Amino acid sequence: MGTGKATAVRGMLSQFGISFIAIQETQFVELSERIIRSFWDKSSFEFSKVNSESRSGGLLSMWNPNVFNKEQEVKSQNFILVKGKIKGEQEDLIIVNVYASTNQSRRRQMWDELLMLKQTIQGRWIMLGDFNEVRIPEERFNSQFYVIGAICFNNFIRNGGFQEYNIGGKQYTFMSTDGRNLSKIDQVLVCGEFMAKWPDASLMALNREISDHSLLILMTTVNRFGPTPF
């Protein structure tokens, strides 16, 4: 999370009219508000964070309080859940910023924890971030496909009733440093109620200019309030 990345993110705020940002792998043991502020423009914002363990992990969620009003949050080392309402909407919206562990056992524990939360926290769910897992062999290129991991991930998606929007821009969202290995480990998963509310939302994977991951932008339209991208 350097100065260049902060500048690029601020540029996207105005370019796409972004209302909610989910950042994974901040790598900050103590993420100061000064650094957090550098990722937003001069308008008001609120945030929730999870500090990294050593130089691994770390999460940051930021949003426009004039669009999204937070009512509840649940945090672990691998996700930030915020529940609230979009202005003008009565239904609760649950936004989960995910950075899944590279350890398969810990990933499975997180799947179970999120399924339990979904049973108790009602509303329209959207989960977005780095899931460190793919669903099918075609979502990897020149990298190993783990059948058991994919089965567990697909079971989690099915049991949670989650769906995906078709992604545009790029087939793969992550590229290794040497450019040889590609995979689609970054996902946006939504519940059926979210999909029914915004069936025409568009998901775009941008060029990898500031990270080895593509930035994903989900564009929705909320009544008279216009676009509300994530």
In a domain, 156, yes or no: yes
In a domain, 211, yes or no: yes
Written as six digits, the tokens of 170 are 């790029």
Give the pLDDT score at 221.
65
Q: What tens-digit pLDDT sequence spans the chain (230 residues)?
A: 556 678 878 888 878 888 999 999 887 778 888 888 888 988 899 999 998 887 778 899 999 999 999 999 999 999 999 999 999 899 999 999 999 999 999 999 999 999 999 999 999 999 999 999 999 999 999 988 999 999 999 999 999 999 999 888 888 888 888 888 999 999 999 999 999 999 999 998 887 766 788 889 998 865 444 555 55
In a domain, 20, yes or no: no
Question: What CATH number is associated with residue 92?
Answer: 3.60.10.10
Strand 79-86, strand 162-164: pairing: unpaired
Give the pLDDT score at 31.
81
Give the pLDDT score at 224.
46
Domain total in the chain: 1
Range of 217's domain? 65-225
19 vs 90: CA distance, rounded Å: 18
Question: Long-range contacts: 45-51, Cβ < 8 Å, 24+?
Answer: 46/70, 48/73, 48/75, 48/80, 48/82, 49/80, 50/75, 50/76, 50/77, 50/79, 50/80, 51/26
Q: Which residues contact 228 (CB under 8 A, 6 or more apart)?
A: 19, 20, 67, 86, 220, 221, 222
Q: Look at residue 126 and give its three-state secondary structure.
A: strand
CA 122 to chain centre: 19
In a domain, 60, yes or no: no
In a domain, 131, yes or no: yes
Give the pLDDT score at 151.
96
Q: What is the pTM of this model?
A: 0.91
Written as six digits, the tokens of 68 are 């999204």
Q: Which residues contact 68 (CB under 8 A, 6 or more apart)?
A: 19, 20, 84, 85, 86, 87, 93, 95
In a domain, 182, yes or no: yes
In a domain, 18, yes or no: no
E strand spans, 77-113: 79-86, 93-99
DSSP labels for 45-68?
-EEEEE--BTTB--EEEEE-TTTE
In a domain, 171, yes or no: yes
